[in-house]
A and B are shown apart, each in its own frame.
Chain A
Amino acid sequence: MNDENRSPADAAADAADTSPSSAGRYIGAPFRRVDGRAKVTGDTRFADDLVFPRMVFVKLVRSTVPHARVGAIDFSAAREVPGYLGHLVGDDLPIPFGILPVSQDEHALALDKVRFVGDPVAAVAATTEDAATEAALAVGVEYEQLATIASLEEALATPEPRIHELERSEGNVHKAVSYRFGDLEAGLAEADLFLDDLFYYEGNTHLAMEQHACVAVPEDDDRVTLYSSTQTPHYVHRALTRVLGLPASRIRVVATSNGGGFGGKSDPFSHEMVAAKMALVLGRPVKVVLTREEVFYCHRGRHPVLMSQRTGFTKDGRITAQHLKTVLDGGAYGSYGVASTYYTGALQTVTYKLPRYAFDGVRTFTNKPPCGPKRGHGTPQPRFAWEVQLDKAAHRLGIDPAELRLRNLEEPDAVTANYLQLGTIGLRRCIEAVVEGSGWRERYGKLPEGRGLGLACGSYLCGAGLPIYWNHMPHSGVQLQLDRSGGVAVFCGETEIGQGSDSVLAALVADVLGIELGDIRLCVADTDLTPVDLGSYSSRVTLMMGNAAIQAAERARELVAQAAGDALEVPVSRLVFADRRVFDAETPADGMTFQEAVILAEARFGTLGTTGSYTPSRNPARYRGSGVGSSPTYSYSAAVLEVEVDPLTGLYRPAHVWIAHDIGRSLNPVLVMGQVEGSVYMGLGEAMMEEQVFRRLPPSRSSALVHKMPSLLEYKSPTFHDMPPVTTYLIEDPDPAGPMGAKEVGQGPLLPIMPALSNAIFDAVGARVDQVPIHPHMVLKALSAKDRRYGPRAFPEVDFGPPLHVPTPAEGGDGRAIDDPRHRRTHGIRSADGTMTTREEALRAQHAAGLTTG
């Protein structure tokens, strides 16, 4: 934790080495989540459950064409709908926004162009949702249609018309990156076996059960509060500040409990901007609830990615080098896409020793809903490629796939070829657990035809090392308020999306202070009242909020201990906080209640409040673009999946999944289990059936390019019947970077599932499907193919731009590129920005918006 945030009192306390101790009852126990009761009684208030006096409703009018200039918009029929109150168009909210400072390419309502079917064009308000719906349907929009881009191949091959007029790239390329970590050719020359494979990962979407919704409530002349089902209230606050042109202090964003997020509620959205603006125009609370179909248009889900992966292996299975190329289909807007592009390459190095590594990635624009971060953000696609290719290598080398991975395991605390600083690595124990549990050694390769086992691994961040916009401030802040009631109010910007972050926050504070969850009152995810936490993304909350919470609670404990210690005439270092008491460790009967101790402290120090904050330490990389992938530490997972395959039809059924996850330490094992099982479920959905795909009608007859199935019926997500039994192992190996040793669990366990299924199908019937999702017809086609494989057959010509060369640590590198293009003009589509804006760009952006970042 960063020293600059520590108070003089803390420093003094440290100097005297007088820290009291705690004995908590929650951490490590499967305690009931703090919001558990509300969730089973219907009391949890989701955004659409909020009702305010005089509330009215807004519907967005969305584009029905995929790519066009917007002409006249006719509201005359809409005005006739009884209850109609008004409308907004693009010119009413002309300032662009976007989650990344480098991609401010969205408008609340189309200014000039629409770029996909579903792009918001106008908004109408009415007294009821019925009336708003009728009015929205009655709005007439003229479009001057443009040619459309439907796929990543088309985007690369079709420079005109451009979906976005970007200065930094050409045609319909959004972002291109290219890196050479070490001497690739030397690495490949060492290889005895050289595999060169193509993989394709179809796009899919989060499908949170709750549709996005928000309510904007105007207050005074120029204040507005937005209640929204968002994972990132702080970033929504920043976007609203920009778009509404109001000072940040006049806008309050409160994240309501999210009915599932999975990354789909991490962007600022048009409906949020529109609700806030309409509330200010009408002077009334405004609610927007998206339909399920509209949620498919918000999307920001998994990018479709085409991959080419060349990897060298020695005879004994050592990995010598890898060259990965990825092409992403980004959809119509930037969203997190620049980061997603880096993520398709960043984490290939963290599981196995990869001495030399080359990565080229490019993101394209297409006329489809924008892609963004979904559980695993950009890494499930290359992880699929990596783990399937390892399976192929194991077969070619005659080495057991589990053994091949164990031989190559990365070392704890290592710095990878791309300069990621690793922490603890529990992957060996993960692999051993699933190998043992599944009977792998006795059963792999030996099951009857039609039955097979597949193994795969994965790793994920425990929070992104850098914030989304450039700044030096903490990533998470926690504030405590203690008073004579003996209760503790905890304030934090963190956002509960179902993962249990409220419970982690409350339990950490309760355990440090030795009190009960019932003594804690939470105030969270409120930009007026709570310290900033960047949001529920990148698996960052437990680690970052957790560390901040512990710091705040320890500072509070320090104050209370000083007062109690004096009264008890016991040195502070002997004091124990437990069972709602403060007492002498040597004579536990000598003590007082926690409340009595707080009263003494309040009398002595005045009103009691402490803060804690967390900022990740800087990673060793110094090349540009290195911000993506760095993290305080990484979680690891391994899975074995057993499948039954019918070779006559290609139908298959996962029969069992064994999964082990390196959690560091389970703060609440039942919540950890829930994340593991939920990840397995979502991974199986992606592996088996889920896909966000589109229909283009015959171009001679129609220019339509539409989502094929924007409904919960036709977008297939697994039901109770489709979920196999799962055996979960929680591998505990506390990581010093984590709060009480904890690492992430929300995303990592998804990663091994898709490749494990593909590898299991190979073991069952000897056919490879190098593609996700694996439809039964693909299995059937692979079985009849000459190479017994189904998957992409071609990789397009791509200009990734001039590569950045970064010598690896083993080659004596210092984390810098030797040919940083900052020092020379580049041409073509090469762009050398990191995910973050540079400091200069951040300052420019602040200037443009007329405000300071906050």
Chain B
Amino acid sequence: MLRLPPFRLRTPSSLEEAARIVAGEGPAARFVAGGTDLWPNMKRRHQKADTVVSLMAVPGLAELRGDTGGNLEIGGTVTLDRVERDERVQTRFPALARAVASISSPPLRNMGTIGGNLCVDTRCTYYNQTEEWRRSIDYCLKEEGTVCWVAPGSSRCWAHTASDSAPMLAALGARVRLAGAEGEREIPLADLYRDDGIDYLGKRPEEVLSRVVVPAEADAGHCRSAFWKLRRRGSIDFAVLSVAVALWQEHGVVTRARIHLGAVASWPVGAEKAAEALVGRPVGDEEAIREAAKLVRRVATPMDNTDFLAQWRGVMAERYAESALREASGLEVTGLAPNHRLVG
């Protein structure tokens, strides 16, 4: 049986204490919430820690509530399962419910947290391997090595974002609160990410993602959203492509749009030009949707670092963008749906 290496577990009871421990110990310390990302990574030893700081005993982090402005606030350690089953999420943010429900499998969603999913490590089939396997390739740029085997001529790491909630929440315009030793700050979720497989999070190591704020203006009363996820099997698998869209309209005309993609870049890349192509056009304008879908494909950079042929995933980015936009626009969607059936 593959086992965890030894480490010291700390269970602080406040965010300040948690931040202090990590700040004090530096890179040898890591946060853990549900553990569904960190423990496999530590068992395979491509993430290492002498000290692991559990956030599960920090009071208030597991709250899911609506604030006065109609925003929805989801604490960092709220489990994915609770998000997916929450009635407010299901009725007001159905595409978010769908995105979260598509993550891995039911028992894992019962353990994994929204904060963990937003901070989930980038993935690559050269990286998510055991210590011995990685020795066989002399490691890779992301961990201990000098070459990104996905693109050996490149100077960067091409590991891909693996979060399903990130592109959806980014499209909905969510913000996240980061708590550090010196207090909290709030930033747009989209700004949490960087286009780099290694340094993929724009937060300081000691900062805790304490809360996600989903704005009222993105709920079903104001915004039409959709989430499409491509993966091999109907469960368990990470996305090899996901498309999250959110459309705002007035009098049948698109006034604002956001499209974010999962798994085809190192971050939940936004397709701004595609979104712009929809603005000012009637909701459900099939020509506009086709144009936007073509533009979506341009920002997708699928690499040979996950399941399926990378080139085909590029083809699918356009197809899925079109399908997601059609669904959000209230048009009929034909052909086969995500994971060969509709998610949710």
A interface list, Cβ under 8 A from B: 48, 62, 64-66, 117, 129-130, 133-134, 137, 211, 289, 291-293, 644, 646, 648-653, 689, 695, 697-698, 701-702, 704, 706-711, 713-714, 716, 718-722, 775-777, 780
Contacts and interface: CB of A to CB of B under 8 A. Distances in A.
Nearest to B340: A653
A721 B234 contact: yes
A706 B232 contact: no
A653 B337 CA distance: 10
B28 interface: no
B211 to A, nearest CB: 30
B308 A293 contact: no
Contact of B233 (A62, A708, A719, A780): A719
Given A64-B132, A719-B233, A721-B339, A698 B152 contact: yes
Contacts of B128: 711, 714
Nearest to B135: A64
Contacts of B234: 719-722
B251 interface: no
Smallest CB-CB A-B distances: 9 pairs: A721-B234, A777-B312, A646-B336, A651-B336, A646-B335, A653-B340, A64-B136, A64-B135, A719-B235
Contacts of A714: 125, 128, 307
Contact of A293 (B6, B133, B233, B335): B133
Contact of B131 (A137, A695, A722, A775): A137
Contacts of A776: 308, 312
Interface in B118-157: 125-126, 128-133, 135-138, 147, 149, 152
Nearest to A716: B232
B315 interface: yes
B36 to A, nearest CB: 12
Given A649-B316, A652-B336, A722-B234, 17 more contacts: A62-B132, A64-B135, A291-B1, A291-B2, A291-B130, A293-B132, A646-B336, A648-B319, A649-B335, A689-B233, A704-B138, A706-B137, A710-B129, A721-B233, A721-B341, A777-B311, A777-B315
Contacts of B137: 695, 697, 702, 704, 706
A650 B312 contact: yes
Contact of A133 (B3, B129, B152): B3
A780 B319 CA distance: 13
Nearest to A710: B133
Given A716-B232, A719-B235, A706 B312 contact: no
A649 B319 contact: yes
Contacts of B126: 695
Contacts of B1: 48, 129, 211, 289, 291
Nearest to B153: A698
Contacts of B37: none
B187 interface: no
B236 interface: yes
A777 B3 contact: no
Interface string B280-306: 000000000000000000000000000
The interface size bin for chain B is 35 or more
A136 to B, nearest CB: 9
Nearest to B2: A291
8 contacts: A48-B1, A117-B136, A129-B3, A291-B1, A701-B152, A720-B235, A777-B311, A780-B315
Contacts of B5: 134
Contacts of B331: none
A143 to B, nearest CB: 11
B276 interface: no
Interface of B: 1-3, 5-6, 125-126, 128-133, 135-138, 147, 149, 152, 232-238, 307-309, 311-312, 315-316, 319, 335-336, 339-341
Contacts of B312: 650, 775-777, 780
Given A129-B1, A709-B125, A697 B149 contact: yes
B236 A713 contact: yes
B315 A718 contact: no
B233 A722 contact: yes
Given A646-B336, A716-B233, A775 B147 contact: no
A777 B314 CA distance: 11
B138 A293 contact: no
Contacts of A704: 136-138
Contacts of B316: 649
A196 B5 CA distance: 56
Contacts of B335: 646, 648-649, 651
Interface centre among B5, B232, B319 (most CB of A within 10 A): B232
Contacts of A780: 312, 315
Contacts of A48: 1
Interface centre among A65, A129, A653 (most CB of B within 10 A): A653
A664 to B, nearest CB: 35
A469 to B, nearest CB: 34
Contacts of B133: 117, 293, 706-707, 710
Contact of A708 (B125, B138, B152, B340): B125
Contacts of A117: 133, 136
Nearest to B231: A716
A293 B2 contact: yes
Contacts of A701: 147, 152
B341 A653 contact: yes
Interface centre among B1, B3, B132, B152 (most CB of A within 10 A): B132
A634 to B, nearest CB: 34
Nearest to A289: B1
B138 A702 contact: yes
A695 B305 CA distance: 11
A777 B307 CA distance: 12
Nearest to A723: B234
Contacts of A653: 336, 340-341
Interface centre among A48, A117, A701, A711 (most CB of B within 10 A): A711
A838 B75 CA distance: 73
A310 to B, nearest CB: 31
A716 B236 CA distance: 10
Nearest to B235: A719
A594 B233 CA distance: 54
A646 B126 CA distance: 31
Contact of B308 (A702, A718, A777): A777
A137 B43 CA distance: 13
A649 to B, nearest CB: 5
Contacts of B149: 697, 702
A478 B13 CA distance: 65
